[in-house]
Each structure stands twice: as structure tokens, then as C-alpha cells.
């Protein structure tokens, strides 16, 4: 299995956690998102992923982008240690939390969005930071309200995809110096996940391409 990744990409970070959780080993293929305008934009990579983003997972003859699709694939192809709960309504509730991050938060602070805002809409660095902080905070507030109020993890007693999407977004929130102390549920989930092997080994500080 091959994972195209960038150490600081929150979307790739999710997939690294999932692969570790399932104890699947993989070849790390680094794609530098900043060097020379971004390796993701070069032909060699857009052939792999036409959306010019990481992650991309290649397994046997299957090449998949989009972390949610990758999570679904992993749960169906490698059934041990499920990422999503199996049954109704837990599956849907877990997907709801995942989507708060996946479609409701991360895309608004993605590199290509910020580049466009800066280059064509001429926003300043301060405005860029304010934009990111606003949308990240809005997403995290919703997650904090909708997740479980007790148990160690976002869905209660078991670690799930919801935690695997949350921690990378918290990592980004910290880069933007957001105050997270007001989110008690998020704090609790973070404390319970951060030292689990699957999470700590996926952390941006310890990847093959970490500077
Ligand atoms: N919905 C996609 C998001 C992927 C994504 O936005 N990746 C970012 C890094 S977190 C990226 O590669 N950005 C490159 C760019 O915007 O040029 C997923 O879940 O995999």
C-alpha cells in the first residue's frame, strides 16, 4: 500500500491514523505542498490525483483520493478494527461529526483557497488568519456540541473515525492559535487520543518528510 502524504496535511494525517489503527503498513510517498508552487500541482502527481491534493491511497489496483472514501474503503477491504460504527444510528452520527470537519471546516482553510484569497482577492495576512480562525472555530464549536458528552471519545466509549478527523483539525486550530479551552468535550477527546499509538505515530512531527 502507498500513501501520498504531506506531514502537515490534516487530511493525510487522518488517513495515517486510520492505517495505524488497522495496523496496516504502507509506503510513505511525500508530496511537498509548498516547494516550487507545490508538487501536488505537477503533472507527475495530477496523474495520480487530478484534484491536486493529498491524501491519495494506492492499494493493489485501486487508487483513491478523498479521506472519507478512503476510510470507507479501508473498513470494507480490511474489516478488523472498524473505523466507523456498524449500526444505525451510530454510523450516521459518526459520519455527521466527520463531515463537520471534512466538508464544513477543512476546505475553508485549505491551501488553494487561501492562495486564491490572497492572490486574487488581495486579502492581507491578518485577514487570512482571521478567516481561518473564524471557520475553524465555527466547525469545532459544532463538533463540541454534537459529540458525546461522556466517555473518552467523540462517539463515547470507542475510538472512531470522528476522533481521527478531529485531532488533525485541532492540530490546525493550534497552528492558528485558537483558544480551545472553552471546548470541554474536545479537550477530553484530545487528551484521550493523543498518546494512543495510532495517533502519536501519525503526528506531523514524526513523519518521514517532517523538516
Ligand atoms: N476532501 C479532501 C481534502 C484534501 C485536501 O484538501 N488536502 C489538502 C491538504 S490537507 C491539499 O492537498 N491541499 C493542496 C492545495 O490546496 O494545493 C480529503 O478529505 O482528502
Q: Which residues line ligand 1 (CB under 6 A)?
A: 9-11, 33, 38, 40, 52-55, 65-67, 102, 110-112
Q: Which atom of ligand 1 is nearest to the CA of 12?
A: 10
Amino acid 8: pLDDT: 98
Sheet of 56-59, strand order: 27-30, 2-5, 56-59, 62-65
Amino acid 6: pLDDT: 98
Quote the CATH superfamily of domain 2-82. Glutaredoxin (3.40.30.10)
Section 22-48 average pLDDT: 97
Question: Is residue 68 a contact partner of residue 106, using CB atoms and an 8 Å limit?
Answer: no
φ/ψ (deg, to 5) at 193: -95, -35
Distance 14 CA to ligand 1 centre (A): 11
Q: Which atom of ligand 1 is nearest to the CA of 107?
A: 6
pLDDT > 70 fraction of the chain, expressed in percent and rounded: 100
Residue whose C-alpha is closest to residue 12's, from 81, 67, 49, 51: 67
Express each pLDDT in 171-209 by its tens digit. Answer: 999 999 999 999 999 999 999 999 999 999 999 999 999
Section 22-51 average pLDDT: 97
CATH topology of domain 90-198: Glutathione S-transferase Yfyf (Class Pi); Chain A, domain 2 (1.20.1050)
Q: What is the spatial distance between Cα 125 and Cα 159, in angstroms, rounded to a whole number?
A: 37
Express each pLDDT in 55-94 by its tens digit. Answer: 999 999 999 999 999 999 999 999 999 999 999 999 999 9
DSSP, res 33: S
Q: Which atom of ligand 1 is nearest to the CA of 113?
A: 16
pTM: 0.98
Distance 38 CA to ligand 1 centre (A): 12
Distances 71 to 41, 157, 208 between C-alpha atoms, Å: 24, 20, 22
Show the CA angle centred on residue 167, arms to residues 26 and 154, nearest 5°: 110
Section 118-136 average pLDDT: 97
Q: How confident is the model at residue 160 (pLDDT cuts 50, 70, 90)?
A: very high
For ligand 1, atom 5, name the residue with the nearest CA: 53
b/e burial code for range 197-208 (CB count within 10 A of at least 16 → b) = ebbeebbbeebe
Dig out the grid coordinates for 101 from the structure: 470537519
Q: How confident is the model at residue 156 (pLDDT cuts 50, 70, 90)?
A: very high
Distance 150 CA to ligand 1 centre (A): 31
Of 3, 5, 11, 31, which is best to mutate to test ligand 1, by the most ligand atoms within 8 angstroms of its C-beta? 11
Express each pLDDT in 90-107 by its tens digit. Answer: 999 999 999 999 999 999
Distance 161 CA to ligand 1 centre (A): 18
Section 155-164 average pLDDT: 98
How much is the mean pLDDT over the chain? 97
Q: Which atom of ligand 1 is nearest to the CA of 53?
A: 12
Distances 80 to 59, 72, 143 between C-alpha atoms, Å: 17, 13, 27
For ligand 1, atom 17, name the residue with the nearest CA: 112
Domain boundaries defined on the chain: 2-82, 90-198
Amino acid at each position: 500500500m502507498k500513501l501520498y502524504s504531506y506531514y502537515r496535511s490534516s487530511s493525510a494525517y487522518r488517513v495515517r491514523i486510520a492505517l495505524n489503527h488497522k495496523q496496516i503498513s504502507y509506503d510513505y510517498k511525500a508530496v511537498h505542498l509548498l516547494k516550487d508552487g507545490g508538487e501536488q500541482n505537477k503533472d507527475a502527481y495530477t496523474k495520480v490525483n487530478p484534484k491536486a491534493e493529498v491524501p491519495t491511497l494506492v492499494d493493489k489496483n485501486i487508487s483513491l483520493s478523498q479521506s472519507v472514501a478512503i476510510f470507507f474503503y479501508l473498513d470494507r477491504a480490511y474489516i478488523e478494527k472498524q473505523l466507523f460504527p456498524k449500526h444505525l444510528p451510530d454510523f450516521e452520527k459518526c459520519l455527521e461529526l466527520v463531515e463537520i470537519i471534512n466538508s464544513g471546516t477543512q476546505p475553508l482553510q485549505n491551501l488553494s483557497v487561501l492562495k486564491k484569497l490572497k492572490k486574487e482577492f488581495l486579502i492581507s495576512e491578518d485577514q487570512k488568519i482571521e478567516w481561518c480562525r473564524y471557520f475553524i472555530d465555527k466547525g469545532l464549536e459544532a463538533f463540541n456540541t454534537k459529540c458525546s458528552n461522556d466517555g473518552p471519545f467523540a462517539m463515547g466509549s470507542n475510538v472512531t473515525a470522528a476522533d481521527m478527523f478531529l485531532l488533525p483539525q485541532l492540530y490546525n486550530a493550534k497552528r492558528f492559535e485558537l483558544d480551545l479551552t472553552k471546548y470541554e468535550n474536545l479537550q477530553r477527546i484530545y487528551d484521550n487520543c493523543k498518546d494512543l499509538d495510532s495517533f502519536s505515530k501519525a503526528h506531523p512531527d514524526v513523519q518521514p518528510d517532517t523538516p
